[in-house]
Structure 1
Amino acid sequence: MSDLGVVSLGTLVFAALLVGVSKTAVSGVGALSVALFAAVLPARESTGVLLPLLLVGDVLAVRTYRAHTDWPTLLRLLPSVAVGVLLGAVFVAGTGDEAVRRTIGALLLTIVLHHLWRRGRARRAGDRDRGASAAAVPSGGPGAALEADTGRAAARDSGAAAGRRAYARTLFFGLVAGFATMVANAGGPAMSLYLLSAGFTMLGFLGTGAWFFLLVNLFKLPFSIGLGLLTPDGLALDAVLVCAVPVGALLGRALVRRIDQALFDRLVLLCTAASSLNLLR
């Protein structure tokens, strides 16, 4: 890695800067860092070099947004993420990552499209409900009580179904995020989509994501060492790049104060889609 040219080194410095921005502002930008590191360095080496920089960014993000963490959500996610990391470690040990990157890219792009479809369907349903409420006529008598009982029973059934869907969504996104982060440091898009679909505000998104990635990256650190992804040359390169991470974190903190929630959601989806297409290359 000592033979990196000026352009390649400058690209890595910019990618390290984006690591900081992604940790304190728009999470989806982190996937661009993954793409830039993989473009300059061999795939396996790139994941090893990037991991310590991600950990530095995670610590900065936790210090900034720790008051906004949703711990129940985090604790529900971690078991399935741990399983995903273990599966990813087994896969990396015996398989190249080109096919895996493309599979993850296709999966994440599908998730983005599904998320957009769900948002569109919810918007249309909301419009219909408002129209129905405006047209509704109050009623009384025994029939009204029967309708109320029926409505409560339907609500209970609907709540149970919603709980099962939420559990399945948590399991699915946890497995995908854990597997993707172990194989290609690409767990950010899956986590971003999960938090968006759960309706998190911008600060809740950043605070929960900060602790999530710190814990997950610490968990996968011994696996990365055991697989030979972390090397002395890689750590030497990290020593050169690490100063760019806090600079990016400061830029992200300044940026996040100027972004409203709707723009934040759009930026996360855009960055996730772009990174998914990159993984398909």
Structure 2
Amino acid sequence: MLPDIDFYLVAIPAVLLVGLAKGGMGEALSLMGVPILSMAVSPVQAAALLLPILIAMDIVSLWIWRKHGDRQTYIMLLPGALVGIAVGWATSAYVPRDALRLIIGLITVVFVLRYVYTLWRSRNGIAIQPKPQRSGPAALWGTFAGYGSFVAHAGGPPFQIYALPLKLAPREYTGTIVRFFATLNAVKLIPYFALGQLDLSNLKTSATLFPLAMAATACGAWIVRRMKPQVFYPFMYMMAFVAGWKLVWDGLGSVMSGTL
């Protein structure tokens, strides 16, 4: 039996925001999906409902951005991310998700503030060069991305911390993040099924939202394709800051309520 109209009044805005993010408009929008959907169902069910929708969005995104992406960045980050998913699966019953949100959020906020500082320096004649590929940071932030993606759907900010300073062309950056999280979401199906978070009822409900999810993803990609680099990167850093602050807010809320 499908949910009533009240569920869809909450689910439709959540899917629209996540779809725009999947199209390339920044992980801050995606982070709103589970909290909004949690107004209608439990947070665990919200995450389970969103995973098949995310995969449907990934299919659309992969097609749209099929000619773009930075292979080296993808390869550098993926091994750590797979380790992060495995660790998340093994510790899912023991690690408070809001503790992870708080840690990732604080790191991301500091990262964006550092970008603002370097931007100020560049305007004073100090040139900021793109960062090179580095195996150590790639392993670290890839692991955080995989772990955060599995336990809290919060893998975007760690990815951005590594990838944004590389200063890839906007379309190559977007194609890379699309491939990266499409891979992670496909891998996450295995532990989600094993943990019993995906059942036939949830899958049927998710399927009713697929058309909206695909349309929102295409819309997000249409917008990103028309952004110039000097607009795209400040926008991405702003989205990273919003995402980081959202994670901090969620984590602090649990601390203040004593549920962490």
* Residue 233 of structure 2 corresponds to residue 272 of structure 1: no
Alpha-carbon distance, 1:187 to partner? 0.8
The answer for the alignment partner of 1:65 in structure 2 is 65
2:92 corresponds to: 92
**Contact 1:66–1:210 (CA under 8 A) maintained in structure 2:** no
Match of residue 250 from structure 1: 218
Shift of the 258–73 alpha-carbon distance from structure 1 to 2, 3 Å rule, reads: closer
**Structure 1 match to 2:171:** 203
Give the Cα separation in 2 of the matches to 1:10 and 1:183.
Answer: 26
Give the 3 Å change call, closer, same or farther, for CA 65–113 of structure 1 in structure 2: same
2:85 maps to a residue whose letter is V
1:65 to partner: Cα distance: 0.9
**Quick one: distance in 1 between partners of 2:155 and 2:64?**
21
Contact kept, 8 Å, 2:88 with 2:150, in 1: the verdict is yes
1:194 aligned counterpart, secondary structure:
helix
Q: CA deviation at 1:197?
A: 1.2
d(CA) in 1 for partners of 2:138, 2:171: 20
| 1:134 corresponding residue in structure 2 | none
Shift of 1:124: 5.8
Q: Distance in 2 between matches of 1:96 and 1:265?
A: 32
Output aligned runs, 1:66-145, within 5 Å. 66-121=66-121, 123=122, 127-128=125-126
Of 138, 146, 158, which residue of structure 2 is paired with 1:178? 146
Instruction: Report the residue type matching 2:79 in the other structure.
Output: P
Q: In the alignment, is residue 16 of structure 1 matched against residue 25 of structure 2?
A: no
SS for the counterpart of 2:154 is coil
Relative distance call for 1:98 and 1:233 in structure 2 (3 A) is: farther
| Comparing 13-22 and 62-71, the one that deviates more | 13-22
1:53-95 Cα offsets, whole Å, 9 max, x none, are 1111111111111211211221111111111111211221334
Within-5 A mapping of 1:164-175: 166-175=134-143
Shift of 1:5: 5.1
Report the aligned-residue RMSD: 2.4
What is the CA distance between 1:203 and its match in structure 2? Answer: 0.3
Measured in 2, the distance between the counterparts of 1:49 and 1:180 equals 18
Asked if the contact 1:108–1:190 (Cα under 8 Å) also holds between the matched residues in 2, the reply is yes
Q: More deviation in 10-19 or 30-39?
A: 30-39
Amino acid at match of 1:232: L
C-alpha contact (below 8 Å) 1:23/1:249 kept by paired residues:
yes
Q: Distance in 2 between matches of 1:100 and 1:186?
A: 9
Compared CA separation, residues 257 and 3, structure 1 to 2 (3 A):
closer
How far, CA to CA, are the matches of 1:276 and 1:52 in structure 2? 25
Compute the TM-score of the two structures, normalised by the length of structure 1: 0.78
SS of 2:65's equivalent in the other structure is helix
2:34–2:43 contact (8 Å) kept in structure 1: no
More helix by proportion, 1 or 2? 1
**Corresponding residue for residue 182 of structure 2:** 214
Q: 1:60 to 1:226 in 2, by over 3 A?
A: same
Q: Distance in 2 between matches of 1:99 and 1:252?
A: 30
1:209 to partner: Cα distance = 1.2
- State the partner residue of 2:258: none
Q: Which runs of 5+ in 2 are unaligned?
A: 251-260
More contact order relative to length (CA 8 Å, sep ≥ 6) = 1
In the alignment, is the contact (CA less than 8 A) between 1:35 and 1:275 conserved in 2? Answer: no
Deviation at 1:181, TM superposition (A): 0.1
1:19 is paired with a residue of what secondary structure? Answer: helix
